């Protein structure tokens, strides 16, 4: 009997070793690797890159990268097929803690997108939805709609984004003692040019930039004053053994590209961040400020846009002036003149110290989006800052969206008119290789450009509101004025503007800058009609 039982017992023991006891938990699934998900949005297709590491005990780490920045994963756990983690989302310098949930489904991760999408601070216009006046012209594309993202193992597009950052372990950069840097004497009128971000986001390359330079010349935009060809985020590769940042393969020779742009009578701009990562998750300039400035000078760069993205994870707003001064000093040390554009969303009272760090322009708002509420909200923020603008130092409500399709032609004329009145930089953000007739007429309206480029350098402001009508006034050289009558409402409005109400002299000569028509001498004011979301832009001249 004992002999007969031996094989049976052996089989039972072998089977028991294959079955985990109930008190031993099953190992968590391994999700280590790079996972990529994409969603359509009002900003175009957004790619989310999840660089994950996990272990058998269910710990989950790594980072999440998207158009909204790079965020380390915090408190990540895997429980069965469920995953949950937190991130600190950086939205224009505002850090928001978000909890993200998802599920492992075979070779896919099903991730709830709500926590990955931006929630704007009060007063900020994220794409989509009507403004305060309700739906109507320019209501824009639909807003971000939360749902489920399907992430699969793969390679990001582009694949040159830098990896996750251990912000706690970064060596601390020493900030300079505050001082006033001398003016670089550039940008005596608001800079004009083109920037890649609004149209191309991070999908930009050498061929596109060369094509844009050609188009600026062929279209007449260069001769109208659009001189700067600015490469925004997405050009960066990796640093070599000496810490020198190399462009990614989409830009095989930055010096040759700069030479090409210069040969067209244009200037080349570049983009970086004082943090370790840019908004799109590429290599920033943190700890490499002097090296990067020298690199750009060697290439022949003429303009730097320096974006606060990820810097808010390392510094407070009260450090911001010193942070931007550090790069301002680095630029000056190269001996090359570069327009210095501070992109920090109007935080920390930048208009008071922007010129002191060598800045020529500084963002005063959150990003612009291609819709009426965003555009009007950004320009309205300029009103209180008019006194801080002057030749060489400009308030920047962000780049132009004209031609990108989110607003009507009427609204784009209003957009261009208000940027001209506000003495804002005129940086086109569309594909100028494919200008339609309306976009061409707007961007090439030399009479409106002349208002923007007026040598007096006085920024206009809103001086009166009457119902849905806003009246903006700007003092120009030669005893002249620019007057914009803007209709915020959804129906055409008849107006009768009185000079006396605006403390303007009587008997002003008027010219309509969109109709290109002299209106003669107007004794007491301007009577007329303004279309919904439209503008009447007048140049007024006193004297004979």
By annotation, the residues acting in catalysis are: 307, 367
Q: Angle at the Cα of 87 (from 82 to 89), degrees rounded to 5? A: 140
The pair of three-digit structure tokens given for residue 279, joined into one six-digit string: 């908004």
DSSP assignment letter at 286 = T
Residues present in the chain in total: 544
Give dist(CA 115, CA 104) in Å, integer.
Answer: 17
DSSP sequence for 18-51: TS--TTSPPPPP---EEEEEEEEETTEEEEEEEE
The pair of three-digit structure tokens given for residue 123, joined into one six-digit string: 């007063």
DSSP sequence for 32-101: -EEEEEEEEETTEEEEEEEEEEE-TT-EEEEEEEETTEEEEEEEEEEETTEEEEEEEEEETTEEEEEEEE
For residue 302, give the nearest of 428, 164, 193, 461 by alpha carbon.
Answer: 193
The pair of three-digit structure tokens given for residue 71, joined into one six-digit string: 């965020």
The pair of three-digit structure tokens given for residue 472, joined into one six-digit string: 């903006």
Q: List C-alpha distances in Å: 68 to 123, 367, 369, 478.
A: 19, 11, 14, 46
């Amino acid at each position: 009997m004992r002999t007969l039982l031996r094989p049976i017992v052996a089989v039972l023991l072998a089977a028991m070793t294959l079955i985990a006891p109930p008190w031993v938990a099953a190992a968590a699934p391994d999700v280590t690797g790079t996972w990529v998900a994409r969603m359509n949005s009002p900003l175009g297709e957004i790619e989310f890159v999840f660089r994950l590491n996990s272990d058998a005990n269910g710990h989950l780490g790594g980072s999440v990268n998207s158009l909204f920045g790079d965020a380390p994963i915090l408190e990540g756990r895997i429980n069965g097929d469920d995953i949950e983690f937190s991130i600190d989302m950086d939205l224009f310098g505002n850090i928001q803690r978000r909890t993200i949930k998802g599920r492992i489904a075979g070779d896919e991760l099903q991730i709830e997108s709500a926590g990955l999408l931006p929630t704007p601070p009060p007063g900020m216009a994220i794409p989509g939805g009507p403004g305060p006046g309700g739906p109507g012209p320019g209501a824009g594309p639909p807003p971000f709609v939360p749902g489920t993202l399907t992430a699969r193992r793969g390679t990001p597009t582009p694949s040159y984004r830098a990896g996750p950052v251990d912000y706690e372990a970064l060596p601390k950069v020493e900030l300079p003692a505050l001082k006033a840097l001398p003016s670089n004497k550039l940008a005596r009128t608001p800079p004009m040019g083109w920037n890649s971000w609004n149209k191309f986001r991070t999908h930009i390359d050498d061929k596109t930039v060369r094509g844009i330079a050609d188009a600026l010349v062929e279209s007449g935009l260069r001769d109208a004053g659009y001189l700067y060809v600015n490469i925004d985020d997405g050009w960066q590769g990796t640093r070599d053994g000496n810490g020198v940042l190399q462009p990614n393969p989409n830009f095989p020779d930055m010096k040759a590209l700069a030479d090409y742009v210069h040969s067209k009578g244009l200037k080349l701009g570049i983009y970086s961040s004082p943090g370790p990562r840019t908004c799109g998750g590429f290599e920033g300039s943190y700890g490499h400020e002097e090296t990067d400035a020298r690199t750009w000078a060697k290439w022949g760069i003429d303009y730097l846009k320096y974006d606060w993205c990820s810097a808010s994870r390392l510094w407070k707003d009260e450090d911001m002036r010193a942070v931007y001064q550090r790069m301002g000093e680095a630029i000056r040390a190269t001996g090359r003149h570069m327009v210095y554009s501070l992109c920090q969303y109007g935080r920390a009272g930048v208009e008071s110290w922007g010129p002191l760090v060598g800045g020529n322009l500084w963002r005063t708002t959150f990003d612009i989006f291609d819709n009426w509420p965003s555009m009007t909200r950004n320009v309205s923020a300029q009103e209180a800052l008019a006194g801080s603008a002057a030749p060489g130092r400009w308030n920047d409500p962000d780049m132009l969206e004209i031609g990108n399709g989110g607003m009507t032609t009427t609204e784009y004329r209003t957009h261009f008119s208000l940027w001209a009145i506000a003495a804002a930089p005129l940086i086109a953000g569309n594909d100028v290789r494919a200008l339609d007739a309306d976009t061409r007429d707007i961007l090439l309206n030399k009479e409106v450009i002349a208002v923007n480029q007026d040598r007096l350098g006085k920024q206009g402001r809103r001086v009166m509101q009457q119902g849905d009508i806003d009246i903006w006034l700007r003092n120009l050289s030669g005893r002249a004025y620019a007057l914009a009558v803007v209709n915020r409402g959804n129906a055409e409005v008849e107006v009768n503007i009185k000079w006396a109400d605006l403390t303007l002299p009587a008997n002003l000569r008027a010219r309509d800058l969109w109709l290109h028509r002299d209106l003669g001498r107007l004794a007491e004011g301007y009577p007329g009609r303004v279309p919904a979301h439209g503008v009447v832009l007048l140049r007024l001249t006193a004297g004979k």
